[in-house]
Amino acid sequence: MTVYCQTLIGTPVGDLEVVATDTTVTAIHFLSEAGARARVDHPNRLTAQAERELNDYFAGQRIRFEVPLAPAGTEFQQACWRALQAIPFGQTASYADQAVAIERPSAVRAVGAANGANPLPIVIPCHRVIGKNGQLTGYAGGMARKQWLLAHERDQLSLVTAPSTDTE
């Protein structure tokens, strides 16, 4: 029998619940305030690792996650989620780009549905996918969260790549 553990994390985009087995993180859920109050922490070493990595991400100290992941999904969804993980921090791609990346260029709508079913938002960065015209499109966590995450990454990227102002 698989035992699932969970940890609640307060973040700038709202409360998150991280769910893990003893070997992998399986889900991250956005919680409403009422939902967060109804949950009880049952952490393990992986929920603690995910919490540290998420806190580092929100503090601008992490651009890549290392916690082991095991999102449950179809083969197609898994391919879509791997393509999401290939989108660099601070950058965006379109659903069409993602469809091409998984060698299914006509599956743009199916890619969108797979992204909507992503059980590990932020860590598997579906927020980095935008419309082909450059406009923001839907996000299971809500558009305000998507905008915040994109702006956060853009701001952090500019700090990492900014020219030095040292004058020695």
Spatial neighbors of 105 by CB under 8 A, at least 6 apart, are: 96, 99
Buried/exposed code over 33-55 (b: 16+ C-beta within 10 A; e: otherwise)? eeebeeeeeeebebbebbbebbe
Please confirm, yes or no, whether 126 is among the known catalytic residues. yes
- Asked whether the beta carbons of 55 and 96 are under 8 A apart, the reply is no
**Which residue in 19, 46, 126, 149 is the catalytic one?**
126
- Asked whether the beta carbons of 166 and 135 are under 8 A apart, the reply is no
- Asked whether the beta carbons of 81 and 114 are under 8 A apart, the reply is yes
Both tokens of 101, joined, read: 């990346």
Q: Is 101 helix (H, G, I), strand (E, B) or coil?
A: helix
- Asked whether the beta carbons of 97 and 128 are under 8 A apart, the reply is no
**What amino acid positions are annotated as catalytic residues?**
126
